[in-house]
Chains A and B, each alone.
Chain A
Amino acid sequence: MAEIKLDNLIKAYGKVEVLHHIEGDIHDGEFIVIVGPSGCGKSTLLRMVAGLETITSGTISIGGKVVNKLEPADRDIAMVFQNYALYPHMTVYENMAYGLKIRKIPKDEIKRRVEEAADILEIREYLDRRPRQLSGGQRQRVAMGRAIVREPSVFLFDEPLSNLDAKLRVQMRLEIRKLQKRLGVTSIYVTHDQVEAMTLGDRLMVLNGGYVEQFGTPIELYQKPASLFVAGFIGSPSMNFMDADISNGVATLANGAKLKLSSKFNGPATLGIRPEHLVADDKGAIKVTVDMLEQLGANTLVHGILDGTQTSFVVSLDGIQVAETGSNQTFYAEKDSFHLFDKETGKRIVE
Chain B
Amino acid sequence: MIENRPILTVFTHIIMILGVALIALPIWITFVAASHDEIRMLQAPIPMLPGSHFVENFKQALFGAGLSGDQTPVWRMLLNSLAMALMISFGKISISLISAFAIVYFKFPFRMGFFWMIFITLMLPVEVRILPTFEVVANLGMLNSYWGLSIPLIASATATFMFRQVFLTIPDEMLESARIDGAGPMRFFWDILLPLSRTNIAALFVILFIFGWNQYLWPLLITTDTDMTTIVMSIKQMLESAEQSPQWNIIMMTALLAMLPPILVVVGMQKLFVQGLTETDK
Q: Measuring CB to CB, which residues of chain A are less than 8 angstroms from any residue of chain B?
A: 50-52, 71-74, 77-79, 81-83, 85-89, 98-99, 102-103, 132
Contact = CB atoms under 8 A, between A and B. Distances in A.
Contact of A102 (B183, B196, B198): B183
B180 A77 contact: yes
A88 B280 CA distance: 13
Interface centre among B173, B192, B198, B281 (most CB of A within 10 A): B173
A71 B179 contact: yes
A70 to B, nearest CB: 12
Nearest to B281: A132
Contact of B182 (A86, A87, A103): A103
B5 interface: no
A72 B179 contact: yes
B171 interface: yes
A102 B192 CA distance: 13
B240 interface: no
A305 to B, nearest CB: 45
23 contacts: A50-B176, A50-B180, A52-B179, A71-B179, A72-B180, A73-B182, A73-B183, A78-B180, A79-B177, A79-B180, A81-B173, A81-B177, A83-B173, A85-B173, A86-B177, A87-B174, A88-B196, A89-B196, A98-B181, A99-B182, A102-B182, A103-B182, A132-B281
Interface residues of B, number: 18
B257 to A, nearest CB: 38
Contacts of B180: 50, 52, 72-73, 77-79, 99
B227 interface: no
B195 A99 contact: no
B187 interface: yes
A81 B187 CA distance: 21
Contacts of B198: 89
A236 B168 CA distance: 40
Contacts of A78: 180
A73 B188 CA distance: 13
B129 interface: no
A20 B60 CA distance: 83
Interface in B94-118: none
Nearest to A94: B191
Contact of B181 (A51, A52, A102, A132): A102
A73 B181 contact: yes
Contact of A98 (B171, B173, B191): B191
Contacts of B171: 83, 85
Interface in B154-206: 171, 173-174, 176-177, 179-183, 187, 191-192, 195-196, 198
A51 B173 CA distance: 13
B182 A52 contact: no
Nearest to A147: B180
7 nearest A-B residue pairs (beta carbon):
A73-B182, A85-B173, A99-B181, A85-B177, A89-B195, A102-B182, A72-B180
Contacts of A77: 180
A52 B196 contact: no
A35 B60 CA distance: 80
B275 to A, nearest CB: 13
Contacts of A89: 195-196, 198
Given A73-B182, A102-B183, A81 B176 contact: yes
A35 to B, nearest CB: 21
Given A78-B180, A83-B173, A99-B182, 6 more contacts: A50-B180, A79-B177, A83-B171, A87-B174, A87-B177, A102-B181
B105 to A, nearest CB: 14
Contacts of B196: 88-89
Contacts of A99: 180-182
A141 B204 CA distance: 36
A139 B182 CA distance: 21
Contacts of B177: 79, 81, 85-87
A159 B194 CA distance: 29
Contacts of B192: 87
Interface centre among B171, B182, B198 (most CB of A within 10 A): B182
Given A50-B180, A78-B180, A79-B180, A88 B173 contact: no
A108 to B, nearest CB: 20
Contacts of B182: 71, 73-74, 99, 102-103
Contacts of A71: 179, 182
Contacts of A87: 174, 177, 191-192
A52 B195 contact: no
Contacts of A102: 181-183, 187
Contacts of A132: 281
Contacts of B282: 88
A43 to B, nearest CB: 12
A111 B24 CA distance: 57
A73 B282 CA distance: 24
Contacts of B174: 85, 87
Contacts of B176: 50, 52, 72, 79, 81, 85
Contacts of A88: 196, 282
B191 A73 contact: no
Given A87-B192, A88-B282, A89-B195, A73 B173 contact: no
A82 B177 CA distance: 11
Contacts of B187: 102
A48 B145 CA distance: 54
Contacts of A50: 176, 180
B195 to A, nearest CB: 4
A81 to B, nearest CB: 5
Interface centre among B181, B183, B195, B196 (most CB of A within 10 A): B181
